[in-house]
Amino acid sequence: KEGRMQQANRLLSEMKVKRVVPNTVTYNTLIYGYVMHGDNGTAWRVHEGMVKNGVELDIITYNALILGLCRDGKIKKAVHLFQQLDRSKLEPNASTFSALILGHCKAQNSERALQLLNVMKKSGFHPNYDTYKIVISTFYKNKDFEGAVDVMKELLEMCMAPDKALLHEFFEALSKAKKLHLAEGLQLADKGS
């Protein structure tokens, strides 16, 4: 990964030498690459260059920056950036919500993650399996087994099959807490009752 980011930087330098102005896609690719590499400082410097050069920021720019903040556990800064979307006349999308949900889960704030999951659905977006999985995991890590079971039921109602790892962790947590009786409702949800 590091080699690819160095290649990308060389390409950006070549573009500048040849007086080719990087566009939104170029900057977004760099920002996302640095975020995924865990180098948010450089991602933000690229963002600053983007703003300085008058290149338009789009929802992909914001999503990458929000994801980086959430991965670093800086949820307050991520929420602040999310609030700037409205001022920029941009609409959040599924990736925006998923990043914020991840951030709240990293902060062990399962209730806020669930609220965002519901807002995401009301906004017309469909959470993916990984989004449900992290919310379920956060609930049982917080010892809120009823919440974990409720989200698991919702996952099953969406016709998404939990993977073996999630099922193992989920039932192990219920078993350790002596709350296996809560899983009885899952069988009913799976059978369509």
DSSP string across 17-80? HTTPPP-HHHHHHHHHHHHHHT-HHHHHHHHHHHHHTTPPP-HHHHHHHHHHHHHTT-HHHHHH
Confidence tier at 186 by pLDDT (50, 70, 90):
confident
In a domain, 181, yes or no: yes
First to last CA, the chain: 47
Contact 101, 116 (CB under 8 A): yes
As a whole number of angstroms, the distance between CA 152 and CA 122 comes to 19
Instruction: Report the pLDDT value the prediction gives residue 7, as an integer from 0 to 100.
Output: 82
pLDDT in tens, 94-135: 999 999 999 999 999 999 999 999 999 999 999 999 999 999
What CA–CA distance (Å, rounded) separates 185 from 145? 12
Note whether residue 184 is domain-resident. yes
Question: In this structure, is residue 172 part of a structural domain?
Answer: yes
Q: Does residue 82 belong to any structural domain of this protein?
A: no
Q: Rounded distance, CA 162 to CA 149, Å?
A: 12
Task: Tokens 């099953």: give the residue.
Answer: 156
Structural domain includes residue 150: yes
Residue 111, domain member (yes or no): no
Say which amino acid occupies 172.
E
For residue 13, being part of any structural domain is answered with: no
Please indicate, yes or no, if residue 51 is contained in any of the structural domains: no
Exposure pattern of 3-13 as b/e (b: 16+ CB <10 Å)? eebeebeeebe
User: What are the tokens at 184?
Assistant: 């009885």
pLDDT digits 0-9 by tens, 50-70: 999 999 999 999 999 999 999
- Domain carrying residue 191: 128-193
**Residue 86: Cβ-neighbour burial (10 angstroms; 0-12, 13-18, 19+):** exposed
Domain total in the chain: 1
- In the predicted model, what is the mean pLDDT of the chain? 91
Residue 176 pLDDT? 93
Residue 57: the pLDDT is: 96
- Rounded to an integer, what distance in angstroms lies between the CA atom of residue 166 and that of residue 36? 24
